[in-house]
A and B are shown apart, each in its own frame.
Chain A
């Protein structure tokens, strides 16, 4: 009984921590991007202010909206939060790792995406439908690439369970295989595509004919919008944590000792920051791709991930 309580407590603590950190990550990337363009950028707490402002407003909904529209952001938010409990962050064990591994993680994220896309279709506005169909087009390619990339690491550690996987990688020590690098390159493209960063989608603009994610959520306002934005930021942090776990696991605590946890926290923050810098540079040095070229980019990552898996066997 106490074991179960401990697990639930840990899961709540981890998802709350990630939820708290997610808006900060988004603002930090925005800030770094602004500095690269010689602008001042938003203050570092802007992400929290935006969320609290949106949460304080009344929600405005279209007259034609049904329950699907109301459920969309909630399911998206819940699915993303649930997904965070399946990933090891500070300790080499995910809080709810007994529930499932890679497949459950990908499935949970897919559920959230499905909920948001159907909700975007619900009001019948042209932008929503356009955004949903575009998002799904990209997801159809990105999801298998994500799975193949994750399988590559799973094959190295001999388990599909992320907790067991990270423990295996830590025990092996720093060993290197070309497939790690290929999978990292593939998953980095997926990170960019799934979080709507620049070569794929532009997170900074509204009402542009090429937008994807923003088109989907154009109908939302107030607390509904806050949930979507928060969940999107959380998803970005989740993907980055996943990359850090699989390819740079050094520093993750093997025991629940306060010192080790503190080291793991600093290591995690540092590694996520490095990834954030990489995303910022990728965003600042590339132009947005034409929509019909996006599947080409994502199919590169699919190819890289498949190659990584193939080389494991050869």
Chain B
């Protein structure tokens, strides 16, 4: 039962990462990220329930509250203030991106069998999904121009790392988890401000314009 829920959530996270690549509306991308983080929260809660470890409940609550609600809300506010709602032209078009992400998933899954934990049951899928999401996040960061999408890609990578930490290992020390959570919040806040500054100066979120000089 536990394994089924874990696999269901991991697969859901992979689908959300995939859909993030598949479309361009920024609001939808942010909502998908919120959904992805909530699924991560369910993974943590499931492990807390099955292993009887109370500190994982805090992790689950923090994940849902911070990454599922607070960060999406903050990013939506940033977008609202800037008034840019779409990723107009990524470096690669959507079908090509999807094809590459397919290949990345296959690579991620294949590599996951190299881990000693990666060959059996639920942890095979958890590691496979996490590695695929990591690669998809990196790919998204490289091919998209808008700063907000790059932040979301970074957060996807962070979710992937967290998925392995919570789902496969016996978890990190509580203080480390707290530290990471606040690190993420701080990073998003700083990046949000940075995005607003970029838009204020360049009239665009397009980071490829940052290479041009501006007096």
Residues of A within 8 A of B (CB): 174-182, 185, 295-297, 299-300, 303-304, 306-307, 310-311, 314
Contact = CB atoms under 8 A, between A and B. Distances in A.
A304 B11 CA distance: 11
B8 A299 contact: no
A314 B22 contact: no
Interface string B113-139: 100000000000100110000000000
Q: A-B pairs with the 10 shortest C-beta distances?
A: A178-B11, A181-B11, A314-B109, A176-B4, A300-B22, A303-B98, A296-B94, A299-B95, A176-B7, A185-B15
Contacts of A311: 105, 109, 128
Most buried by A among B4, B15, B110, B128: B15
A314 B106 contact: yes
B10 interface: yes
B205 interface: no
Given A299-B94, A299-B98, A176 B14 contact: no
A178 B102 contact: no
B19 interface: yes
A143 B14 CA distance: 23
A175 to B, nearest CB: 7
Contacts of B7: 176-178
A297 B11 CA distance: 19
Given A303-B98, A306-B102, A314 B128 contact: yes
Contacts of A176: 3-4, 7-8
A306 B105 CA distance: 11
B162 interface: no
19 contacts: A175-B4, A176-B3, A178-B125, A178-B129, A181-B8, A181-B12, A182-B14, A182-B15, A185-B15, A299-B94, A299-B95, A299-B98, A303-B102, A304-B18, A306-B102, A307-B18, A311-B105, A311-B128, A314-B113
B11 A310 contact: no
Contacts of B106: 310, 314
Q: Which of A178, A181, A299, A300 has the most CB of B within 10 A?
A: A178
A281 B18 CA distance: 21
Contacts of B3: 176
A169 to B, nearest CB: 15
Nearest to A306: B102
A131 B27 CA distance: 32
B190 interface: no
B176 interface: no
B213 interface: no
Contacts of B10: 178
B101 interface: yes
A156 to B, nearest CB: 14
B175 interface: no
Nearest to B110: A314
Nearest to B106: A310
A296 B22 contact: yes
A300 B105 contact: no
A193 to B, nearest CB: 14
Contacts of A303: 18, 22, 98-99, 101-102
A303 B23 CA distance: 13
Contacts of A306: 102
A178 B109 CA distance: 12
A5 B89 CA distance: 61
Contact of A310 (B4, B15, B22, B102): B102
Contacts of B14: 178, 182
Interface string B1-45: 001100110111011001100110000000000000000000000
- Chain B CB count within 10 A is highest, among A174, A176, A179, for A176
Contact of B105 (A175, A180, A181, A307): A307
A140 to B, nearest CB: 13
A307 B103 CA distance: 9
Nearest to B6: A176
A299 B129 CA distance: 21
B132 to A, nearest CB: 9
A300 B20 CA distance: 11
Contact of B95 (A179, A180, A296): A296
Contacts of B8: 176, 181
Contacts of B101: 303
Contacts of A179: 11
B105 A310 contact: yes
A309 to B, nearest CB: 10
B93 to A, nearest CB: 8
Contact of A181 (B15, B19, B23, B113): B15
Most central of A177, A179, A311 by chain B CB within 10 Å: A311
A172 to B, nearest CB: 13
Contacts of B129: 178
A185 B15 CA distance: 8
Contacts of A314: 106, 109-110, 113, 128
